């Protein structure tokens, strides 16, 4: 960290010097942690220019469209690594050796089953309940099965919690889907790959043998990798803030799932596909483009724009290639892809979107691929949550391993009533 300083001139006070800290890459930051002692807070709703923590896990350069997991570019990982390798990399900081990978895979596969009583949690939900609500509730419930004996100050306990979460999310996600269609839950199969096991829990039925389609398996694994982590996004920041109080990690992941559900965040892939279905045909695109520009119309082009990427989302680039591969390999003619391609072409040439640097993001293409492999729209964000669990756990563990860790407690600019005396209007 450089020893540069920022000088701040406050009314009626001596100029104060604030340390400027530098990381490996990206913007330097001004350490304002002592500002309170000078009678001021900073104000930054939505944290547009605020670093909440220091992290070694993921780096994004929004201007250049760069995404690195522990220094490795996302396109290289999507091409050359599988999701469990990426999980190991995010959790431990280095790619696994063949031996480490084998041990990690064995560990994860040993935790794929859930307590048999957990299946009762689903019965309280209507069959048509949104799967994100079901998964959020069941994961929160899982904290009851792993609470008392867990010591989150013990690294080995945190590691086991991460293994359990990575292993059980696919099982619970598939259970939510099976419950919604009235089919029996399918147990995990530890002889299959992580993605293959998820597909068989989703689509196998007890009365027939299920064969994993390798094309779909590879596409699924790549979708998991592309969504595995993304710095301090809303849901990851939620997990960090919930975890900063020492809360049970399963409850923290449930909080992250709740945050991810929003259409401005992880719910965008589901919203994007619903938007493409609403547009329906290429000739209706201009009408929706005009609506997206209309300040009085809340409609936005779902799958476009990003808080950080002011260039192409590098995940969208990989997802676009995967999208074409899957549709070509599975020989699927999807009119929604035609609408998506035309929408992308128009949006990328329209000054409104170009000026605001609103490029397609990862959600724009992931929805089409998920639909192509048979995943229902309502399950899209559940798959995003499944993929992102390793990122959430990696950030939670990084925070809990920090000896200087303290509870997160933002301040505010108070604009309410000044102090006044209370007089009741209620007859006692």
319: Cβ contacts below 8 Å, ≥ 6 apart: 223, 226, 362, 364, 365, 366, 369
Whether 221 is a known active-site residue: answer no
Alpha helix ranges (H) inside 227-355: 234-243, 249-260, 268-279, 285-293, 314-329, 335-347, 351-355
Task: Pick between residue 157 and residue 265 the one whose CB is nearest to ligand SDX.
Answer: 265
Q: Of the two residues 58 and 248, which places its CB atom closer to ligand SDX in the complex?
A: 58
Q: Does 383 bind ligand SDX (CB under 6 A)?
A: no
**Phi, psi for residue 6 in degrees, rounded to 5:** -110, 135
Q: Where are the beta strands (DSSP E) in 15-55?
A: 16-21, 29-30
Choice from 157, 189, 307, 324 touching ligand SDX (CB under 6 A): 307
The interface mask with ligand SDX, positions 252-291, x = CB under 6 A, is: ------------xxx-x-----------------------
- Told to check if 292 binds ligand SDX by CB under 6 A, we report yes
Check binding of 157 to ligand SDX (CB under 6 A): no
Beta-bridge mates of residue 67? 60
Question: Which is closer to ligand SDX, CB of 201 or CB of 226?
Answer: 226
Q: How far apart are CA 149 and CA 416, in angstroms?
A: 44
- Binding flag, residue 359, ligand SDX (CB under 6 A): no
3-class state of residue 407 by DSSP: coil
Is residue 303 within the footprint of ligand SDX (CB under 6 A)? Answer: yes
User: Interior CA angle at 78 toward 397 and 70, to 5°?
Assistant: 35
Size of the site for ligand SDX (CB under 6 A): 20
Catalytic residue (choose from 221, 227, 363, 395): 363
Asked whether position 380 contacts ligand SDX by CB under 6 A, the answer is: no
Should residue 302 be labelled a site residue for ligand SDX when binding is judged by CB under 6 A? Answer: yes
Closer Cβ to ligand SDX, 85 or 229, answer by number: 229
373: phi > 0 → left, psi -120 to 50 → alpha, else beta; which? Answer: alpha
In a 3-state reduction of DSSP, which class is residue 188? coil
Provide, rounded to whole angstroms, the least separation between the CB of residue 167 and ligand SDX: 22
Sign of CA dihedral 219, 196, 91, 407: positive
CB nearer to ligand SDX: pick between 175 and 285: 285
- Closest to ligand SDX by CB, 254 vs 292, is 292
Instruction: Report the residue number whose CB is nearest to ligand SDX.
Output: 305
Contacts of 309 (CB under 8 A, 6+ apart): 60, 62, 65, 359, 361
* 64, 106, 211, 356: which one binds ligand SDX (CB under 6 A): 356
Has 306 been annotated as catalytic?
yes
Category of 39 on φ-ψ map: left (φ > 0), alpha (ψ -120 to 50) or beta = left
What sign does the CA torsion over 392, 395, 400, 405 have? negative
Is residue 230 within the footprint of ligand SDX (CB under 6 A)? yes
Q: How far apart are CA 230 and CA 316, in angstroms?
A: 13
Chosen residue from 134, 173, 174, 358 binding ligand SDX by CB under 6 A:
358
Report if residue 360 touches ligand SDX, rule: CB under 6 A. Answer: no
Q: Which stretch binds ligand SDX (CB under 6 A): 278-286, 302-310, 392-400, 402-410?
A: 302-310
For ligand SDX, give the closer residue by CB, 363 or 398.
363
Which residues does the annotation mark as catalytic? 306, 363
> Which residues would be at the binding site for ligand SDX (CB under 6 A)?
230, 233, 264-266, 268, 292, 300-308, 356, 358, 361, 363
């Amino acid at each position: 960290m450089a020893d540069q300083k920022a000088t701040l001139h406050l009314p009626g006070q001596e100029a104060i010097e604030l340390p400027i800290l530098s990381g490996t890459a990206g913007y330097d930051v001004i350490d304002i942690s002592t500002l309170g002692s000078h009678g001021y807070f900073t104000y930054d709703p939505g944290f547009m220019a605020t670093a909440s923590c220091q992290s070694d896990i993921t780096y994004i350069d929004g201007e250049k469209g760069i995404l690195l997991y522990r220094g490795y570019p996302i396109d290289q990982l999507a091409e050359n690594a599988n999701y469990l390798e990426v999980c190991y990399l995010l959790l431990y900081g280095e790619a696994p050796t063949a031996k480490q990978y084998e041990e990690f895979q064995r560990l994860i596969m040993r935790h794929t089953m859930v307590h048999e009583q957990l299946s009762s949690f689903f019965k309280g939900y209507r069959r048509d309940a949104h799967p994100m609500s079901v998964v959020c509730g069941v994961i929160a419930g899982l904290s009851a099965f792993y609470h008392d004996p867990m010591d989150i100050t013990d690294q080995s306990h945190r590691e086991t919690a991460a293994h359990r979460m990575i292993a059980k999310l696919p099982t619970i996600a598939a259970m939510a889907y099976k419950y919604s269609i009235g089919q029996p839950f399918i147990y995990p199969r530890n002889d299959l790959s992580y993605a293959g096991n998820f597909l068989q829990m989703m689509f196998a039925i007890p009365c027939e043998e299920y064969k994993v389609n390798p094309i779909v398996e590879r596409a699924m694994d790549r979708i998991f990798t592309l969504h595995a982590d993304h710095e301090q996004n809303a849901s990851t920041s939620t997990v960090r803030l919930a975890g900063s109080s020492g809360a049970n990690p399963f409850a923290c992941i449930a909080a992250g799932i709740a945050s991810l559900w929003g259409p401005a965040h992880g719910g965008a892939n589901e919203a994007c596909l619903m938007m493409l279905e609403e547009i329906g045909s290429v000739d209706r695109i201009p009408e929706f483009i005009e609506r997206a520009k209309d300040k009085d119309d809340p409609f936005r082009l779902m799958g476009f724009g990003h808080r950080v990427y002011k260039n192409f989302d590098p995940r969208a680039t990989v997802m676009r290639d995967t999208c074409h591969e899957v549709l070509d390999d599975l020989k699927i003619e999807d009119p929604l892809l035609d609408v998506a391609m035309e929408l992308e072409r128009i949006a990328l040439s329209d000054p409104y979107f170009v000026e605001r640097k609103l490029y397609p993001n990862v959600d724009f293409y992931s929805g089409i691929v998920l639909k192509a492999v048979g995943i229902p729209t309502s399950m899209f964000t559940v798959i995003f949550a499944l993929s992102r669990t390793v990122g959430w756990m990696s950030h939670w563990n990084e925070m809990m391993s920090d000896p200087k860790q303290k509870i997160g407690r933002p301040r505010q600019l108070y604009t309410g009533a000044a102090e006044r005396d209370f007089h009741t209007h209620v007859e006692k």
